[in-house]
Structure formats: structure tokens, C-alpha cells
A and B are shown apart, each in its own frame.
Chain A
Amino acid sequence: MYEPILEKPKSFFDIYKEKSGDQTITHYCPGCGHGIVHKYVASALDELNLTDKAIFVSPVGCSVFGYYYFNTGNYQAAHGRAPAVATGTKRVNPDSIVISYQGDGDLAAIGTAEIIHAANRGELMTVIFINNAIYGMTGGQMAPTTLVGQKTTTSPRGRNPYNEGYPVKMCELISQLNAPIYVERVALNNAANRAKAKRAIKKALKLQAERKGFTFVEVLSQCPTGWKVDPPDSLKWIEEKMIPYYPVKVFKDISNEAEPYPEPKKIVSGNELLEILGIKSEEEKDLKKYEIPKEYRNPKIKIAGFGGQGVLLLGVALAQVGMMEGYNVTWIPSYGPEMRGGTANCSVNISDGLIGSPVVEKPTILVAMNKPSMEKFEKDMVPGGILFYNTAMIDEEPKRDDITKVPVPATKIASDLGNIRVGNMVMLGAIIEKTKLLPFETVKKGFEYFISRKNLIPLNEKAVEAGMRYVRENNL
């Protein structure tokens, strides 16, 4: 009687429902190494009983459709970013088994930075790196791993190291780092090496399950289509061309000595998260939502001036206090070439609903701390908007007549207080006095969040008061 000993691994879908065309076969070319390695991964997951915990991150490349086949969790990452996606995946699902499966274009070209740093951080993931010395999916162009002299569509006279450099040896690079615990290069060229490849993949996954550390398996794999050879000859090609340059061996294995990573602290409730972030949740709950006067509700605020005038901080202050009052807020700065000599600016939204975009293009409130800012943004204001402008530095009148204008010599007032840099807080005082957008009491509570030098809080408070007084006394 015969019993099956090797059959389609259970970690594959029976039918590839996501796939177009024939849903019983892969999309790979005849003889492709990907299918073989897929089988080894699936077999290992079966044998280790990890299928339900596994999350497979597919790259860009021929294996982009990993999610067609693996009956696991699946992501498909942006080109080269599989280790970054895998990092996030693993960190929020510490019990999962995360596989970053990548080809040489993905891992060794566009994603070089991601793999090096994921390895260097020692992320608890398994990286399967398919090295076939060519860009297969796009039609056989030169890859970073293309061998010296190898002809491809983009190196028709053969790779010339003086022009294109030498093939990148990823195992050698990765194994230099401290964090990786297991780095091995395997090959698919003969039965013995394939058995080693299968064992290496299983070992890497097992080490991940034991929380030992970052594991990396490079597979020298055939691309008969890209190499333009018959599948049986492609195995010889690996042996004769690739292995002499890419030695097949264990580059690093400190898995026996490596201690398992500590179990991550699990965040089970929102309050716990607030605690970790140092936010006093109870205090905030007690705050009643402040009523913003109707005409100023849901303001879209633009604050602009020279770098150093505190325009970004003024935005942070408004957003912080708005948040403390229970509103949804956004603050986003705009940096650019204008930082030098022109205007720095930020956008603030304070909303009782959802905020679509943090960027304010048509402000309802504009704060112009210098002349170029007023010139630049006054025209963008919505009709009926309110313009606060720093008359200490702007010697022109605003041009628009369909807006409310509030001239405040903020820099002068600040200077009189003894510190020219608190002009932004004078303006904050002017804003809250004129619009009643936010209560002064909450501004005072907010200082500790947005003023990092605590000894300056009294001065900032005085500046806000001075701005409020100026608006009041001048009936603005």
C-alpha cells in the first residue's frame, strides 16, 4: 500500500482564488526557482505548525503575487520596502511569524537601505532573499547581483565592473552586522543543496518563533527565462556561474548563544496607552468643550512670518489649546526654500468635525508677522476672514476690503516687555481676545506643553495678556 509522503503543503491555498486565469497553477515560468522556494516556505510552516501565525510580505518582482498562494496573512509592500512593512507588522503583532520575501531587485537595489537597517535593528523576522542575478519580471535586465561578464538586456556586452561595479554580496554584508543571528546562503542547483535550502528556511522560521532574532536566507535560484536557458541547464548555470562567486555556506549562526528577545509589553487599553505616553487622561476628560463663537467656528488658520518669529510655535499653541478644549486639531508646518529670507508658515485647523486635509489653502484667519507673509497670503483669504498683522514690521495697509483687519504692533509690544521673541504670544493674546476662539485660562494650562523652557512661562503669559489688552484698549 502506498501513502503520500510529499504533497502540496497545506500552507498553500487549494485554489488560487485571487489569481486571474488558471487558478490551480502559479504564474511562474516553467522551471522557476520561486515556486520551489515557495514550497519550502510552505512546507516549513506546515511542519512547524506556524501557518496560522504567519504573515507573508510579498515584494515587487515576480513574487509580487505571494498572496495568491500562501494561506497566511499577506501584505504586498512597495518596492524594496518589504522589511519596513515586516517591521511594523511584527511590532504590532509580536506573536506573528513574519516573512519578508524579496528578490534581488527589491532587496539589493531599491530596498538596500531597508534591508540593512531592518537587519541592523535585529527585527524579529525572516528574510528570504531570492538571488537569480537578473531582473526577471521586467525582462532580464542587469541586477546588482548580475555576475561580471553576464549578458543581460541592459549589459549586452556583459557586466563590466569598471562601469557597473561588482555584484553585491548580501549575505556577506548582512553577516557583518551585530544583530542578525543566522545568515546562510543556499542554492537550488542539486538535491543536496536543495535539502540544505529547505532546512535553512525551516531553521530561520523556527528561530523566529523562538524569538531569537533576525534571520536571513539567500537562495541562489534559477531564472531560466531571464537567462535564456532550458530549466535543467539553469541548475548547471547556478553551479558553474553563481556558486563560484556567491559561496554557499553559513555566514553567521549565533542562534545557540542568542537569548530570546524579551516579550514586548502589550498595550491592552486606551488608558494604558495614555499612561505610557504620559498623558493625564482623567484631567482631560474633566474639561468641558469650550464654545467657540459661531462666526469663528472651525477656523482655518495660516500663520506666517520670518523664521525665528515663533510662527510655528504660535501654531502649536493654538492647536494644543484647541485640543485641550476637546476639538480635533491639526498643525502642519511648511518648510521650503522660503525658509531663507522669505516666509515660514504653518497651517492650523481647529474643528468640531473630522479634518480632511491639514493644509490650509484659504485661511479664515491669517496671522502675518512680516510684510512678505502678508503680501503672499492676504490674497488667499476667504472673504470675511480676519487678518492679524504685525504693524511693527509691516508698514503697509492690507489691500483687501472684504476682510476684518486687526493691526497689532506685536514685535513692539514684545520688545517693551523685554524680549522681542515673544511677539508670537502677543499675537496669540490678540487672536483670543478678538475672536474668543480659545479661553485664556486654558492657554495658561497649555504653556507647559508648548513652552519647553519653563522659566519663560511667566514672560509668555505676560505677552499673551499684553496682546489681549492691546486689542481691548484699542477697540479692535
Chain B
Amino acid sequence: MSKYIFRPANVNDVDFLVNTIIEAEKSGSEIFSYSKVFNLSEEEVAAIFKEMFLEEIDGCEFSISNYMVAEFENKVVAAIGAWVEDKENPSSKIKSNLLGYYLPKESILFASQASKVTSELIIIHPPGALSLVMVYVSPDHRGNNLIDLLTKEHIKKNQGITDLAVQVMANNIPAIRAYNKIGFETAQIVKSEDEKILNFLPGNEKLLMKKKLN
């Protein structure tokens, strides 16, 4: 365990962060929502994500400054994105401005067919809580408590925080178990009965899990 180094992410970690978002969005499945919603290949989306990260705009999951990473033998092996939601300047707005700026117009138009269906699974980040948003641990390093350790690094960075929150697809059982293990409990469930949602997302049910810090 002592071989892991924890540090804030920097611009050299962008490729890993792009992969973190892709894997976190897949949620243990093969369905990558961004490809489905915007009708782009995974490679095309990855290239756009990279450009978005390199804008270095704070306040959403495409912000390098919101990530802590774990290094093992000089290689980044895990990352968690987290922030405290700013009610005046919500992460959803910053994210959609970035996406809208970089995505091709035809992809944005294509997304309008997904909008109505996917909106049922939107959960607002609880204001004041530290929201863990993108979580990824390389397969070889799972089971080493890295989610808990990286979360603690985020807590250190956000002194005074009393509540943690994370959103997870209901069918991602390993992730739910991992969050339960470190003290998260389900606080909200949203579900869509529209079968079309599975054309865009890896599941039709999502949980908001919360944890109170001592």
C-alpha cells in the first residue's frame, strides 16, 4: 500500500483522465453514453474530451483541477474527480458549454432525440456536499482501497466538508458494494420505464449514495 503516491492531477494525466470518464460512464458495461447520445465513435469522443480538459476550465468533470490521482511505480493507476457544487455556477452548465463548444453541430442535433429519455435519470449534485463524480481504478489495482484513499485526499483538499455524495448506475453492483464498504448509503433512486433509455445509457436506474463524515 505504501507504494502508492496520491497527488492532484496535472496536464500530463489528461489521457488517463479521459479514460477515467469513459470507463466511469460505461459503468462496467460496454455502453458508452457519449458515443450513443452524440453518435460518435469512442475515439472521436476521447479526442474531444482531451481538448476540453486542455481548456483547463474549473468546475466540472472536464476540469483537471477537480481530480486526485494515485500513482504506482511512476504510472497513474486510479483517479477520482470530485467537487463541491456551486449553486450559482452549476457544473452541468460548465460541462454543457464545453461540450457544446467542441462537439460537431450534427452531434448536438442528434442528441435531441436522447434528451427527453435521458432526462429522467438526472440527479442534481447535492449543494454543499463533496460529490465524487468520476471514479476509476485500473483493473490490476482494484481491491487495494484506492477509492477510499483518494476520497480522503479530496476531503483533505475540501476542509470542513461534512457530506459526501456519489451517483452510480443501479446495475453496477461492484461499485455499489465498494461504496457501501466505505460507508455510503443509498439516499435516492431514479428510474426510467422508457425502454429507449437503454439505447443511450448502460442502465435505466440510478442511485444517489451519501455518506456523513464524523
Q: Decide if A and B are genuine partners.
A: no
Which residue numbers of B lie inside 8 Å of A, CB to CB? none
Which residue numbers of A lie inside 8 Å of B, CB to CB? none
